[in-house]
Chain A
Amino acid sequence: MSTIVVDNISKSFGTKKAVDGVSFNVEPGGVFGLLGPNGAGKTTSIRIILDIFKPDHGKVSIFGGAMTEAMKNRIGYLPEERGLYQEVTLEKCLVYLATLKGMNEKKSQERISEYLDQFNLSDYRKKKVKELSKGMQQKAQLITTLVHDPELIIIDEPFSALDPVNTQMVKDLLREQAKLGKTIVMSTHQMYQVEQLCDRIVLIDRGKTVLYGKLSEIREQFSGNEIILRTESPLPTQIPGINSINSENGNLIYKAHLAEGVSPQQILQYLLSQNIILKQFEISSPSLDEIFIQVVTKSGEHDA
């Protein structure tokens, strides 16, 4: 059973279509990436999944049914609009929010104190939330997301206010949660953050799904028309089957774009037949950023 089934949801605000017929499934376990540029409809989709907004069309099923009050305790949510009660102490704020997720007060205090240690926030537990920096507040909010040990974790732009050290820490934390068998839905526009984390992704642009599936399969789908070559001596300028070739700084590393219908294998055979000594022959796998730009610009042309 899929943890989340999003079935053809649409939502408009006034005349603007924020989400337009998006469908995807999130399977239990692992990290699912909800990707797209700013304003693509990621946050709106998450809000519909969490029953904060009702969709105009389509429906969402979560843990096999419609959202109920009891389900709220099984979900941890880090909203894009970060918010904690500013006028109370950090500890009080976290304990209150944890109890609202169905934890008893004593247990939540223990867990929060563990997390505060882990996040280097122990010194701030008696400080008012408003006295904390933005990054600290974000870490505190992450505690709120995880403290009740939810089965499903939905995080919207988790790295937005974090420095590299904290970004790495959060990534490790998410990996750890995924290892524990948690289902994680992570929304971000920073594709490079997702590559090492996500198993499956959906890419939304202007409210519509443009890519959906296993990250490795999507990569494969977009790879194969580019190869990376390293040689002993300079390559001939004309190689049959290669459209264009650039060397990086003239240091005998080449990036070659293949013509349509030509396989990397054919190029390899040709190079060997020419007695060219190869130090490296690699089918390049495009980064998500590259795929993203490729897909988004293509769909942009489509619209125009």
Chain B
Amino acid sequence: MLKAWLVLKYEYLRHVKQKRFIVALLSVPLFILVIMGISFLSVIFTIDNTPIGYVDNSQFLANPIMLDGKDKGVFDKPLKIIAYDSEQAAQTALDEEKIQAFFVLPADYLDTGKSKLVSKKIPDSNVTSDFRLFLRTNLLRNYDQKIAERVLEGPDVEIKAIEGGRERSSTNILGIALPIVAGILFMLAVNISGGYLLQAMVEEKENRTMEIIVTSISPTQLMVGKVIGNLSVGLTQIITWILFGALAVHFALQSFPSLEAGHIDTYFLVIMILTFLPAFVMVAAMMAAIGASSSEIKEAQQIASLFTIPIVIPFWFIGSIMANPNSPFSVFLSIFPFTAPVILPLRVALSSVPFWQITATILILVLIAIFSLWLAGRAFRLGLLRYGKRLSLMEIFQKAQV
């Protein structure tokens, strides 16, 4: 397999060392950085840190606990809250723009829970949310500190299904976002690598190097080298982007801790890798087969774009799948090889998927991946010296002897 390694190395370095590749590699993170920078700037400029006031007619805030904001991020400091004796005093402060809004708690506040907000403009959401937290904190101050904390933070329910025995936390946002993000990345990786692979296959034809190559190396070794080499180019691109993305997420989490970083589940990661890898090889080998059987890059790209459609399909139904991760439709999509790499990890993240479904999906993917490689090898052998002539799918299956 030494020669397959040579092909792999050549294919990989040929792309990675090109200026075009480096530009493509850096353009996406750069784009994200610019977008992030702009949004952060806009947040900074729009945040109104003017204090808010309140008039307490019910007297329960006589000696209030102030919010310390120690759990909050850089851009999310709690607003200063100032007490006023009368509505008039508060109104004056509002007119003088010392405060941006004030709340009035009526005398019967504790019975009705009603309050009034006075502001010159429609207040930002943090005005009400900060004041609400302030109220809640003070309402609970006579309780045990731990009880108060539980009430304020809400319950963190762990769902434990009888079948699977896998635990999932309902507040683990990352656990749900990850399969969707991973699915998008998978789609990107398939597209990028597939593009490189198609190009590499058709180039071999356009350059008429086929004869030299097949008298130097076996078609199987050539295919293995080409498929893995070009997949690695795509993966390099994706992994670089993931690293930049992780950096961005890290930064975002520091700024907005309310997003709450959940832990990444290793079980989920294993399932994801086990579906992604064979699916990746499957699509790549199919693209290689197309590249080997068509004579022009344009034609090959048109046919190859058909392959990306089934990979996109799951994103159309993502809502219904998230609402109903164990419906027959969801189960079907998670087993169907083209949609499996996106849907199976999503279902695993959302609910507990029976073991047989996971095994069946991965098994089908592996079998189809092997079949696709065989098909690619065959298409390569048959399409070898046909310049300017397309190879039909029927021919690949029919011809007993090459």
Contact = CB atoms under 8 A, between A and B. Distances in A.
A183 interface: no
A79 B387 CA distance: 15
A52 B211 contact: yes
A72 B207 contact: no
B215 interface: yes
A153 to B, nearest CB: 12
Interface string A67-101: 00100110101010111111110000000110111
Contacts of B213: 100
Interface residues of B, number: 23
Given A52-B215, A97-B216, A85 B207 contact: yes
Nearest to B214: A52
Contact of A52 (B207, B217, B385): B385
A45 interface: no
A54 B217 contact: no
B116 interface: no
Contact of B212 (A47, A73, A97): A97
Given A52-B384, A72-B216, A100 B211 contact: no
Given A52-B385, A54-B402, A100-B6, A77 B211 contact: yes
Contacts of B83: none
B357 interface: no
Contacts, number: 59
B112 interface: no
B401 A54 contact: yes
B212 A144 contact: yes
Interface in A37-53: 47, 50, 52
Contact of B211 (A54, A83, A85): A83
A81 B216 contact: no
Given A52-B385, A81-B211, A84-B207, A100 B402 contact: no
Contacts of A69: 217-218
Contact of B210 (A83, A96, A100, A101): A83
Nearest to B221: A69
Interface in B1-60: 3, 6-7, 10, 14
A54 B210 CA distance: 16
Contact of A99 (B6, B218, B384): B6
Interface of A: 47, 50, 52, 54, 69, 72-73, 75, 77, 79, 81-88, 96-97, 99-102, 144
Q: For the complex of A and B, list the 6 residue pairs with the smallest distance between their C-beta atoms, beginning with the closest.
A: A83-B208, A79-B211, A100-B216, A83-B209, A81-B208, A77-B215
